[in-house]
Chains A and B, each alone.
Chain A
Amino acid sequence: MELFLQQVIAGLSTGGIYACMALAIVMIYQAIDQLNFAQGEMAMFSTFIAWQLLQWGLPYWVAFFLTIAISFLVGIVIERVVFKPLKSAPVLSHVVIFIALFGILNSGAGFIWDFTVKTFPNPFGTKPLFGQSVISIHDAGMIVVISILLVLLFAFFRYTRVGLAMRATAANPDSARLVGIRVGWMIALGWGMAAAIGAVAGMMIAPVVFLEPNMMLSILLYGFAGAVVGGLTSPFGAVVGGFSVGVIENLAGTFIPYVGRELKLTIALALIVAVLTVRPSGLFGRVVVTRV
């Protein structure tokens, strides 16, 4: 029983990271109807920025918030410079640009910081919480940070005017324009926020997976799995999906013989296929009906 509980909590803490990636993916999907394959690499690059700031001697939390701010601005710049001119380009152009962005960020990080694996500090320490072994203080810290982030995001979308404008833009961009919402800037803001959320995820998971240019590859796949399970049209679903994927992969890795650590990723991929086959719009997604 204690093992089970331990694995659920460990699953929730990595699940929080997947939830963040899933949320970042969904936010961009809602804004431009495309899957951002480079989301993970953006998060990885942000984490390197944080590492660099720490190397320069900034205290952890200063580097943490500074990285979020930088990532937010860079996300906006990427949208304005690269994707805004592409807005009526065909899907394939977007896909190619995403792949290019992926490659540029990946080899760019390798070029600047080289490909050796680096340790990334863990702000919470590694001791077990309350002297028990059920949950480590890093898992607990991760869950707390991610929860705060999710609550803040929820409050932003639910209670602020800009949040309402962003929801309206996602729901119906034509109508949003008719009430004077500057839709282009809402999309840019979505990019900035997605980049910032990814940065948090990257900095939280880096002490576990270690810092190197390919660190986010599997994390992004889990994020996609979470987004697909929850439904690409539902931010709430993406968060639930991310947490579920974290718990499921952990339990399966522990309790199903032969799965072990190696096949965990396979489970995430199997989940994507299964959900898309049975319920293409995801658990919380809505079916989009288009009139022709």
Chain B
Amino acid sequence: MRQILLSARHLRAFYGTTRVLHGLDFDIAEGGVTTFLGANGAGKTSTLRALSGMIETTGEVRFRGQAVAGKATEELARLGIAHVPEGRGTFGRLTTEENLQLGAMARSDRAGIAADIARVYGYFPRLSERARQQAGTLSGGEQQMLAIGRALIMRPKLMLLDEPSFGLAPLMVDEVYTILRKLKEDEGVSMLLVEQNATAALALADRAYLMETGEIVMSGLARDIGRDENMRRAYLGY
């Protein structure tokens, strides 16, 4: 059994007074990919937002043994949670390179930062071609790569990925997932992946949780979930 990196108990989340998560319990293992699947509005994005302190929560969250519920977003980022948000969070008026440098805001090792930016350009050669370009002019796929690259430069202990396939052409989805696989295998980055594209997510993930209307309704190994009859009919379409 791998070490537990993050665990949530009775996690509830609210937008104003509306409760959107109704008490989630889950664990995320170190070094693996965990995916949260579910339909639109099931609470996947809210789960990620709850974990990085962007919405009001109650319940307990432990990250690397430390109680972190209620901490500010920027402090969670500094503890090693890199959230690649829905819509990618691009700083559109800054250049591609500046967007990457922003990933290093909590670091002070100049040489290490430069090396990491070069490494990101290695993974995403398209980005190095567009280093001086305003990031807002990049294509959707390129912005997704930029967001993942920026998160990598944070040297995260856990990456939260919110629908990396969203709005991308199928070929681009393949490209993004190929790189995520590489990051998983070569760099050992732990990831929490939220997806509507269940096929792509289950192929990459080790563990999977299935969400419906703010609750976890099924959990298990990704390959078992992928074989589950109901799951296949509802979300995989075969």
| Interface residues in chain A, defined as those with a beta carbon under 8 Å from any beta carbon in chain B | 161, 164-165, 167-168, 171-172, 174-183, 286
Taken together as a complex, chains A and B put the C-alpha atoms of A182 and B72 apart, in Å, by 9
Interface core residue of A164, A167, A168, A177 (most chain B CB under 10 Å): A177
The residues of B that contact A177 with a CB separation of less than 8 Å are 54, 72-74, 77
**Complex-state Cα separation, A262 to B89, whole angstroms:** 50
What is the CA–CA distance of A177 and B85 in the complex, to the nearest angstrom?
A: 11
How far, in angstroms, from A172 to B90 measured CA to CA in the complex? 8
Q: Give the residues in chain B near A178, CB-CB below 8 Å.
A: 52, 73, 77, 82-83, 85, 89
Count CB-based A-B contacts (< 8 Å).
65
Cβ 8 A contact of B74, one of A167, A172, A183: A183
Separation of A286 and B134 alpha carbons in the complex (Å): 14
B91 touching A171, Cβ below 8 Å: yes
Say whether, besides A179-B150, A181-B74, A171 and B105 are in contact (CB < 8 Å): no
Tally of B interface residues using CB under 8 Å = 25
Closest Cβ of chain B: how far from A90's Cβ, in Å?
15
Chain B residue at minimal CB-CB distance from A234: B93
Residue among A174, A181, A183 making CB contact with B89, cutoff 8 Å:
A174
Q: Is the CB of A168 within 8 A of B102?
A: yes
CB-CB < 8 A to B90: which residues of A?
Answer: 172, 175
Interface pairs (5), CB distance under 8 Å: A167-B91, A172-B89, A177-B54, A179-B103, A179-B150
B92 in contact (CB, < 8 A): yes
Return the CB mask of B189-224 against A: 1 if under 8 Å, else 0.
000000000000000000000000000000000000
Q: A179-B154, A180-B78 are in contact. Are A174 and B54 (CB under 8 A)?
A: yes
The 6 A-B residue pairs whose C-beta atoms are closest, nearest first, are A180-B77, A175-B89, A180-B106, A177-B73, A180-B78, A177-B74
Given contacts A171-B94, A174-B54, A179-B154, contact A165 B74 (CB under 8 A): no
B98 close to A164 (CB less than 8 A): yes
Enumerate chain A residues within 8 angstroms of B94, measured Cβ to Cβ. 164, 167-168, 171
Dominant secondary structure of chain A at its interface with chain B:
helix
Taking CB atoms, residues of chain B closer than 8 Å to A168 are 91, 94, 98, 102
Residues of A close to B103: CB separation below 8 A? 179
**Which residues of B have CB within 8 Å of A167?**
91, 94, 98
Given known contacts A168-B102, A175-B91, what 15 new A-B pairs fall within 8 Å (CB)?
A161-B101, A167-B91, A168-B91, A168-B98, A171-B92, A172-B89, A174-B54, A176-B74, A177-B77, A178-B83, A178-B89, A179-B105, A179-B150, A180-B105, A182-B74
Q: Known contacts A161-B105, A165-B102, A171-B94: does B154 contact A180 (CB below 8 Å)?
A: yes
From known contacts A175-B85, A181-B74, A182-B74, infer whether A165 and B91 are also in contact, taking CB-CB under 8 Å.
Answer: no
Q: How far is the CA of A168 from the CA of B74 in the complex (A)?
A: 13
Chain B residues with CB under 8 A of A171: 91-94
Residues of A within 8 A of B85 (CB): 174-175, 178
Indicate with 1 or 0, residue by residue over B102-145, a CB within 8 angstroms of chain A CB atoms.
11011000000000000000000000000000000000000000
What residues of chain A lie closer than 8 Å to B91, measured between beta carbons?
Answer: 167-168, 171-172, 175
Residues of B within 8 A of A176 (CB): 74, 102
Which residues from chain B contact A175 at a C-beta distance below 8 Å? 85, 89-91
Q: How far is the CA of A164 from the CA of B52 in the complex (A)?
A: 23
Chain B hits for A174, CB < 8 A: 54, 85, 89
In the complex, are the beta carbons of A179 and B98 less than 8 A apart? no
The contact string, 1 if C-beta is below 8 Å from chain A, for chain B 60-74, is: 000000000000111
CB distance from B74 to the nearest CB of A (A): 5
B101 touches A164 (CB 8 A): yes
Q: Which residues of chain B are within 8 angstroms of A165 by Cβ–Cβ distance?
A: 102, 105
> In the complex, which residues of chain B have a beta carbon less than 8 angstroms from the beta carbon of A179?
77, 82, 102-103, 105-106, 150, 154
CB neighbours of B92 from chain A (8 A)? 171-172
Q: Complex formed: what's the CA distance from A183 to B105 in Å?
A: 12
**Measured CA separation A177–B54 after assembly (Å):** 9
Chain A residues in 8 Å Cβ range of B52: 178
Query: Which of B78, B82, B93, B101 has the most C-beta atoms of chain A within 10 angstroms of its own C-beta?
Result: B93
